[in-house]
């Protein structure tokens, strides 16, 4: 009446009601173990994806997708270089910049910082600085040539105790020759605004001024440090940079954001791989609990197996019965784990703040570069985790099921 009968018997054997409740308990533990492992694996993978995506967006939003610089000397013809780069179909913006290291001093505190000189009218083509400003309406208002205005990152301003309107001493490492000897160049700037990218690397170490003021500060004359580029697809930055190198020739050096921040993304990639391997072991341990469950079940059902064999069941049918049971355990654990992982990864922005009420901040921005827990759930990862969990569960059923198929009916019924 039940076809195929292997499926019917296998489903009935999933719960050992009459004689051994311990087997049912072990089956439940196996399901829960697989479920927790899959949930953890999907959640951690999504968080690592989100961390990588968030870092990429914030880095390219604060810096640039690609950069063109002169070889050992200031760039005097930035407009010509920008026009050449804009002929590439994947370059959608170009703007000059001046960059250098300085010492900032205010209220008895001093710290090193990276100063970037920009043209307010051009900067919006290559970065999101204008959208990250606080206490000021626009770059054009905050940075006027000759006014020596300065924008500070939020963490840098907090460290110096500086507010909008304060005067800050800017000291360059290049010295000027005077009758008194070598004297560092010093200039006072007025804080005209604060910006916040949400990434500690920039909020703590970056200050922005008008390109004309920075050129005077670093004595570049009419020159610039280089040209920053914005690309249509950040993922193709290395390929576009290679094309621009061929087009511009050997008088210019072209780099992209993957080179400038290679260490960050290599570290994230390695950590993501190691976390996947470690959490996969949890799933593997839970899946191989199925082996002990089926081994005990086979021992418990020796007489039933022998009776089935005497009634005409083939060794393949017996093997199929126990494969069905082991596979069912794996499928239930995998499905529940996928559901739990998807729900948790999709609501990480709610779960983490709740946990932080008891534990304090989970992410230290000085260590992790960002101040909130990101999540990027990808269907490819869900499919990969699900197939891996199901495959391990199926693999774990093979040996116990094969042992069951090798049961000798005469020996099993000898003492019944």
For 294-341, the DSSP string reads HHHHHHHTHHHHHHHHHTT--HHHHHHHHHHHHHHHHHHHHHHHHHHH
Q: Please give the angle made by the CA atoms of 375, 379 and 383, to the nearest 5 degrees.
A: 120
Residue 200 scores a pLDDT above 50: yes
Q: Which of 41-50, 152-161, 345-354 has the lowest mean pLDDT?
A: 345-354
pLDDT of residue 134: 83
Higher pLDDT, 194 or 63: 194
* Residue 74 CB coordination number (10 Å): 18
Cα–Cα distance measured from residue 24 to residue 382, given in angstroms and rounded to the nearest whole number: 28
Band (1; pLDDT cuts 50, 70, 90): very low
At residue 182, the pLDDT reads 60
Q: What is the mean pLDDT of residues 203-215?
A: 89
Per-residue pLDDT of 156-174, as tens digits, reads 999 999 898 899 999 887 7
Nearest to 338 by CA among 29, 41, 50: 41
Q: What CA–CA distances, in Å, run from 16 to 19, 25, 39, 163, 393?
A: 7, 9, 27, 72, 20
User: In percent, how much of the chain has pLDDT > 70?
Assistant: 78
Task: Give the chain's count of helices (H) and strands (E).
Answer: 17, 10
Mean pLDDT of the 260-283 span: 76
Share of the chain above pLDDT 90, in %: 7
- Highest mean pLDDT among 18-22, 185-189, 311-315, 336-340 belongs to 336-340
The least confident of 102-111, 209-218, 353-362 is: 353-362
The answer, yes or no, to whether residue 366 has pLDDT greater than 70, is no
Cα(227)–Cα(223) distance, rounded to whole angstroms?
Answer: 11
Cα-based distances in Å from 72 to 221, 225, 232, 254: 15, 10, 29, 13
| Integer CA distances (angstroms), 291 to 31, 59, 111, 329, in order | 13, 48, 61, 11
Please count the other Cβ atoms lying within 10 Å of the Cβ belonging to residue 106. 20
List C-alpha distances in Å: 68 to 37, 232, 367. 47, 17, 30
* CA-closest candidate to residue 281, choices 135, 388, 403, 402: 388
Name the residue with higher pLDDT: 331 or 406: 331
Token pair in block for residue 337: 């784990």
> Is residue 92 a contact partner of residue 234, using CB atoms and an 8 Å limit?
no
- Bond preceding residue 387 cis, omega within 30 of 0: no
Task: Please tell me the distance from the alpha carbon of residue 136 to that of residue 165, in angstroms, as a whole number.
Answer: 11
Give the CA count within 13 Å in the CB-facing half-sphere of 164: 11
CB 380 within 8 A of CB 32: no
Written as six digits, the tokens of 254 are 């072209």
Predicted local confidence at residue 151, as pLDDT: 92
CA distance 377 to 64: 26
Closest C-alpha to 37, from 384, 275, 279, 272: 279
Rounded average pLDDT over 131-135: 83
- Which of these ranges, 244-258, 259-273, 361-375, has the smallest mean pLDDT? 361-375
Residue 413 banded pLDDT, cuts 50, 70, 90? low
Residue where the block lists tokens 């059902």: 301
């Amino acid at each position: 009446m039940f076809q195929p009968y292997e499926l019917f018997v296998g489903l009935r054997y999933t719960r050992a009601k009459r004689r051994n409740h311990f087997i049912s308990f072990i089956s439940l533990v196996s399901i829960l173990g697989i479920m927790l492992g899959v949930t953890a694996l999907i959640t951690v993978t999504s968080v690592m994806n989100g961390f990588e995506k968030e870092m990429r967006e914030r880095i390219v939003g604060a810096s640039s997708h690609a950069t063109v610089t002169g070889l050992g000397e200031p760039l005097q013809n930035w407009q010509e270089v920008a026009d050449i780069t804009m002929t590439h179909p994947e370059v959608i913006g170009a703007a000059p910049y001046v960059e250098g290291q300085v010492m900032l001093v205010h209220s008895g505190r001093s710290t090193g910082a990276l100063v970037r000189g920009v043209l307010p009218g051009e900067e919006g083509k290559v970065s999101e600085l204008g959208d990250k400003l606080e206490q000021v309406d626009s770059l054009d208002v905050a940075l006027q040539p000759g006014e020596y205005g300065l924008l500070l990152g939020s963490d840098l301003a907090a460290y110096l105790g500086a507010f909008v309107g304060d005067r800050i001493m800017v000291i360059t490492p290049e010295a000027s020759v005077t009758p008194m000897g070598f004297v560092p160049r010093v200039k006072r700037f007025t804080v005209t605004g604060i910006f916040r990218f949400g990434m500690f690397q920039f909020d703590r170490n970056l200050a922005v001024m008008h390109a004309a003021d920075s050129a005077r500060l670093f004595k570049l004359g009419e020159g610039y440090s280089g040209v920053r580029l914005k690309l249509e697809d950040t993922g193709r930055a290395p390929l576009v940079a290679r094309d621009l190198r061929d087009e511009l020739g050997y008088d210019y050096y072209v780099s992209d954001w993957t080179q400038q921040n290679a260490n960050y993304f290599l570290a994230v990639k390695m950590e993501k791989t190691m976390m996947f391997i470690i959490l996969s072991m949890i799933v593997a341990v839970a899946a191989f609990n199925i082996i002990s469950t089926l081994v005990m079940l086979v021992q418990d059902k020796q007489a039933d197996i022998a009776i089935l064999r005497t009634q005409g069941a083939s060794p393949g049918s017996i093997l199929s019965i126990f494969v069905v049971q082991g596979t069912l355990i794996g499928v239930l654990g995998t499905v529940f784990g996928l559901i739990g992982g998807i729900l948790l990864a999709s609501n990480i922005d709610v779960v983490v703040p709740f946990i932080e009420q008891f534990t304090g901040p989970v992410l230290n921005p000085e260590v992790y570069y960002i101040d909130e827990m990101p999540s990027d759930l990808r269907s490819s990862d869900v499919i990969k985790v699900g197939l891996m969990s199901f495959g391990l569960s199926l693999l774990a059923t093979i040996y116990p099921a094969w042992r069951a198929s090798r049961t000798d009916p005469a020996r099993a019924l000898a003492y019944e």
